[in-house]
Structure 1
Amino acid sequence: MNLKYLLLFLISCAGFAQKSDFPTAKVDSIVNRIQVPVFPAYQVNVIKLGAKGDSVFNNKAVFDKAMALCKKKGGGTIIVPKGIYKINGPIHFVSNVNLKIEEGAKIKFSDNPKDYLPLVLTSWEGTMLYNYSPLIYAADCTNIAITGQGVIDGEGGKIWKSFKAKEGPGKNLSRDMNHNNTPGKDRKFGEGYFLRPQMIQFLNCKNILVENVRIENSPFWCLHLLKSQNITVRGISYKSLNHNNDGIDPEYAKDVLIENVTFDNGDDNVAIKAGRDHEGRANTAMPSENIVIRNCNFKGLHGVVIGSEMSAGVQNVFVENCKTAGYLKRGIYLKTNADRGGYIKNVFVRNIQLDQVEDCLYITANYHGEGKGYQSDISNIHFSNITCNKALESGIVIQGFPDKKIKNITLNNIEIKEAKNALSNENAENVLMTDVFIGNRATVPTAVSKH
């Protein structure tokens, strides 16, 4: 359907409409069980250990010492006071530590790739492998936090940015290893492969808080929540506009609350993932699930994305009370293809205000037209109370396969004031629309004209 103005007004049956209501009780139960970590009373100020906030001195050894002291004491808070702290290499967390970056403080990482060796276990676009250490890295930790009003600067716009044009062979090798089930110990990348590290990554961690800090200039994804659970991200802000600067990437993540975040990213604001292809499908016991995103300001490429790496499955995602602070290419974007398998189900989105977008709501099972043999299941997707001022391309897009249809989509109280293409709906069943307006709302019909 390729009409500039379209009025859709369908009355859905009451039985199905009830199931599509936003499940507030379910959201409350998830939020109530996500507890923020509590830390021992011990505190260490990096200045007292010899740190210099002069933007020149290499504070790597000082921060390592602060972590070691906290480990010896059973945990505590590392205080980073006002100043610019150059660190030539990563910060590696231990359990029970709060890294508190105070107002006026900035941690500025080096951009020399050699500083992020030796290799650590990480993930790159949905495939587990060994690569450069993320700039802030926590593996197998419990009770950890990054807090305060300060800034984390990844210095990603120079050397790291140049890696993008050279990453193809390394990226393809990682995907071949995924498809061929290459043993993990043999998946070694780093120098010569040009796969950029994430800014902050939590791997196999529990009880995480990231609060109020500002994230700038990441080399790659900004905040990667990998195989972790019980996570609160709130009050943080971004200015990170390099290649692939996703804001928050929950991957194989469980029980996640993302709220009051101000995004300004060079890529997706929130991108929910769950592994890629063969490796992801082998991890079906670890879907990404129970993720609440609310009261956020979107700005960047896309607002909330699920996929395209989602092969272990994504379920129980709740997005509400968010708006845009600038242009988005797509507002809400669910994407997978026939290489992925897995499923996307039980997604509820309500009370979203979008300004100008390319596409407002987009669900596709044929992302990039790639793949074969592993079509994904997409079902039970519910949108309500969404407004958009202008869609430069499409208002609503739903794309399934003839032999694997997208099922059970509800759209209730959607108003897109202007769209080049109103609606594209193919290979889907049980698509129910109530009070959906694209273009000008129709009023009473005009009388027959007299000749």
Structure 2
Amino acid sequence: MNTKFFLFLWMISCTAFAQNSEFPVSKVDSIVKRIQLPVFPSYQINISKLGAKGDSVSNNKAIFDKAMALCKKNNGGTIIVPKGIYKINGPIHFVSNVKLKLEKGARIKFSDNPKDYLPMVLTSWEGTMLYNYSPLIYAYDCTNIAITGEGTIDGAGGNIWKSFKAKETEGKNRSRDMNHNNVPLKDRKFGEGYFLRPQMIQFFNCKNIVVEGVRIENSPFWCLHLLKSQSITIKGISYKSLNHNNDGIDPEYAKDVLIENVNFDNGDDNVAIKAGRDHEGRANTATPSENIIIRNCNFKGLHGVVIGSEMSAGVQNVFVENCKTNGYLKRGIYLKTNADRGGYIKNVFVRNIKLDEVEDCLYITANYHGEGNGYQSDISNIHFASISCNKASESGIVIQGFPDKKIKNITLKNIEIKEAKNALSNENADNVLMTDVFIGKRAGVPTAVSKN
């Protein structure tokens, strides 16, 4: 039965806690100012001058490799991709101080032959470091790199790569066993026979990164993976990537990240903030994911903004504002961890969010999939303000802690969910403050006693 009305107003006496729930504009401004934009030498090379053919058939792998080598020889530069469809049978590997610029009408179309992405490279797969197929665009240990322009990057992920999903269980379980048993990194080799799909774009141990303007389509796996990288600007890009696990942007062990003006359309999470999983993640607490700003974005896909479930090194200082849905979401804002993870999620501020129809509007759980034991996570200082939602087909607000590890210090202010099957599920949480929270139809002036 749909809830027609629900109004919660919970007051607590901790004044300092209430004050700390305000959206910290000065903190956001300081992060933005700290992010460094890449700087590039004046050298430019147009791939057509090197013999590239934008006929959608010719293999341009050697041409792109040559362009990158020329940039390296000149201490960096800009690789220009003119109008056309450029097939590439294999990955693009960046070097420092390079901008890849896709002009209007340009499309880079990668092959979907897994053998083209060998030899293996050091990468990560669902929170565990290992050797696997190269991401389609891969930058390792680079400084000052960018992908810009009005063109499209097509990952060809809907056929062979998509078929890997049904075969990945053995490789996935092997990677997690290696994580739990501290197997040396050199022995974590996957690739052929294990069916772990590569990311489309991965920046690994890089800094001063810009991705701006381009369109990302048809990724094999995660679309844009920001791994152990910092000082990152993702701006004005768009997506149409609807395959399995097509997260839009995955910051992992990432620091100082600005994501703004992005139009998402993904087969999975729009933004999923991660920080390693389980034993390996907990060993990397010196590099949590932190100082991440998400603003002025249009959400469409499975979930809008997610933290977890791989977050064992910790996630802190996340700021989400001025975003809206551009279609259906399963969940709007989703914080998820379980008793295998450990680590923490803290200092999350969300404001000015407009959701249309969702399954669940705001969801915080420490018991994701009911899995794990021994490593419960700390979740604290989570603040939601000025959020509207037209309909939640299941729950309006869910908060799920553990009796011996409660979620702490949650504020919800000026929240209106017009319709929800279940209004609120709140268990094992301390210091939850709700002010002007409406779920269902708002109450008007009390009616008088009727006269017979």
Normalised TM-score (structure 1): 0.99
Q: CA deviation at 1:9?
A: 2.9
Residue identity in the other structure for 1:287: P
Partner of 1:94: 95
Superposition misfits of 4+ residues, deviation over 6 angstroms: none
Partner of 1:15: 16
Distance (Å, rounded) in 2 between the aligned partners of 1:11 and 1:321: 27
Distance (Å, rounded) in 2 between the aligned partners of 1:177 and 1:96: 35
Q: CA deviation at 1:450?
A: 3.6
Identity of aligned residues (%): 86
Partner of 2:378: 377
Partner of 2:134: 133
Distance (Å, rounded) in 2 between the aligned partners of 1:302 and 1:346: 20
Distance (Å, rounded) in 2 between the aligned partners of 1:383 and 1:253: 23
Distance (Å, rounded) in 2 between the aligned partners of 1:353 and 1:136: 33
Counterpart mapping for 1:9-88 below 5 A? 9-11=9-11, 13=13, 14-88=15-89
Partner of 1:294: 295
Partner of 1:304: 305
Q: CA deviation at 1:97?
A: 0.0
Given that 1:410 and 1:433 are in contact with CA atoms closer than 8 Å, whether structure 2 keeps it comes out as yes
Residue identity in the other structure for 1:299: K
Counterpart mapping for 1:242-281 below 5 A? 242-281=243-282
Counterpart mapping for 1:141-290 below 5 A? 141-290=142-291
Partner of 2:366: 365
Given that 1:261 and 1:296 are in contact with CA atoms closer than 8 Å, whether structure 2 keeps it comes out as yes
Given that 2:2 and 2:420 are in contact with CA atoms closer than 8 Å, whether structure 1 keeps it comes out as no
CA deviations over 1:140-187 (Å, ceiling 9, x no partner): 000000000000000000000000000000000000000000000000
Partner of 2:406: 405
Aligned residue pairs, count = 451
CA deviations over 1:338-360 (Å, ceiling 9, x no partner): 00000000000000000000000
Partner of 2:118: 117
Distance (Å, rounded) in 2 between the aligned partners of 1:434 and 1:12: 11
Q: CA deviation at 1:35?
A: 1.8
Distance (Å, rounded) in 2 between the aligned partners of 1:20 and 1:97: 41
Q: CA deviation at 1:372?
A: 0.1
Q: CA deviation at 1:7?
A: 1.3
Distance (Å, rounded) in 2 between the aligned partners of 1:11 and 1:167: 49
SS state at 1:143 partner: strand
Distance (Å, rounded) in 2 between the aligned partners of 1:10 and 1:254: 35
Given that 2:12 and 2:431 are in contact with CA atoms closer than 8 Å, whether structure 1 keeps it comes out as no
Residue identity in the other structure for 2:397: I
Greater shift, 11-20 or 96-105, is seen at: 11-20
Q: CA deviation at 1:56?
A: 0.5
SS state at 1:443 partner: coil
SS state at 2:189 partner: coil
Distance (Å, rounded) in 2 between the aligned partners of 1:114 and 1:7: 58
> Structure 2: 5+ residue runs without aligned partners?
none
SS state at 2:304 partner: strand
Distance (Å, rounded) in 2 between the aligned partners of 1:110 and 1:390: 41
Given that 2:227 and 2:253 are in contact with CA atoms closer than 8 Å, whether structure 1 keeps it comes out as yes
CA deviations over 1:363-417 (Å, ceiling 9, x no partner): 0000000000000000000000000000000000000000000000000000000
Distance (Å, rounded) in 2 between the aligned partners of 1:353 and 1:258: 18
SS state at 2:216 partner: strand
Distance (Å, rounded) in 1 between the aligned partners of 2:105 and 2:213: 13
Distance (Å, rounded) in 1 between the aligned partners of 2:190 and 2:427: 41
Partner of 1:5: 5
Distance (Å, rounded) in 2 between the aligned partners of 1:134 and 1:292: 25
Partner of 2:436: 435
SS state at 1:160 partner: helix
SS state at 1:28 partner: helix
Residue identity in the other structure for 2:350: V
Q: CA deviation at 1:447?
A: 1.5
Q: CA deviation at 1:239?
A: 0.1
Distance (Å, rounded) in 1 between the aligned partners of 2:312 and 2:18: 29
Distance (Å, rounded) in 2 between the aligned partners of 1:426 and 1:10: 15
Q: CA deviation at 1:11?
A: 4.6
Distance (Å, rounded) in 1 between the aligned partners of 2:102 and 2:446: 62
Residue identity in the other structure for 2:260: E
Given that 1:4 and 1:420 are in contact with CA atoms closer than 8 Å, whether structure 2 keeps it comes out as no
Distance (Å, rounded) in 1 between the aligned partners of 2:274 and 2:421: 30
Given that 1:7 and 1:440 are in contact with CA atoms closer than 8 Å, whether structure 2 keeps it comes out as no
Distance (Å, rounded) in 2 between the aligned partners of 1:2 and 1:433: 21
Residue identity in the other structure for 1:74: N
SS state at 2:330 partner: strand
Q: CA deviation at 1:3?
A: 4.5
User: Cα RMSD (Å) of the superposition?
Assistant: 1.1
Q: 1:376 to 1:4 in 2, by over 3 A?
A: farther
Q: 1:244 to 1:31 in 2, by over 3 A?
A: same
Distance (Å, rounded) in 2 between the aligned partners of 1:102 and 1:64: 19
Given that 2:420 and 2:440 are in contact with CA atoms closer than 8 Å, whether structure 1 keeps it comes out as yes
Q: CA deviation at 1:15?
A: 3.4
Residue identity in the other structure for 2:265: D
Given that 1:2 and 1:423 are in contact with CA atoms closer than 8 Å, whether structure 2 keeps it comes out as no
